[in-house]
């Protein structure tokens, strides 16, 4: 770039090194990525990625209670164990896949609609 200016940025040396290594493996460098960022700011007239603080609308207890209330309105209810599982999921103690496996393993073949063949 014949007509360019220098931009100095203060950053953690470890972060800079790690980012440089990653960008190098991607075939680019910090300077190119900073220039891409600046171009995207100009094009979008915004920060080109989401920047926000995450403040959940409800506490975990409120979310679980809302789920229980919604189910009750539909004539369904959660057992104490199901409520515990929902709370564990909401707190990140268990993933959705882990929860599905736990639920599926507790269901009998008859509950799943499977018919065993008599021998």
For 36-58, write each residue's pLDDT tens digit.
Answer: 999 999 999 999 988 877 777 88
Q: How many CB atoms lie within 10 A of CB 45?
A: 8
pLDDT at position 57, please?
81
Whole-number average pLDDT of the chain: 89
Is the pLDDT assigned to residue 19 strictly greater than 70?
A: yes
The sign of the torsion formed by the CA atoms of 41, 43, 49, 54 equals positive
Q: CA nearest 34: which of 55, 20, 53? A: 20
SS3 76: coil
**Are 64 and 86 spatial neighbours (Cβ–Cβ below 8 Å)?**
yes
Using the structure block, give the residue that is written with the tokens 């018919």.
115
Instruction: Say what angle helices 30-44 and 13-25 make with each other, to 10 degrees.
Output: 90
């Amino acid at each position: 770039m014949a007509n360019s200016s220098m931009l100095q940025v203060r950053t953690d040396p470890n972060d800079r090194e790690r980012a440089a290594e990653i960008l190098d493996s991607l075939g680019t460098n910090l300077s190119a990525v900073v220039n891409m960022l600046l171009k995207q700011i100009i094009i979008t007239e915004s920060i080109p990625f989401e920047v926000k603080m995450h403040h959940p609308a409800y506490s975990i207890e409120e979310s679980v209670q809302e789920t229980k209330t919604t189910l009750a309105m539909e004539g369904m209810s959660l057992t104490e164990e199901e409520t515990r599982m929902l709370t564990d999921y909401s707190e990140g103690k268990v993933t959705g896949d882990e929860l599905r496996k736990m639920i599926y393993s507790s269901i009998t073949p008859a509950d799943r609609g499977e018919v065993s063949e008599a021998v």
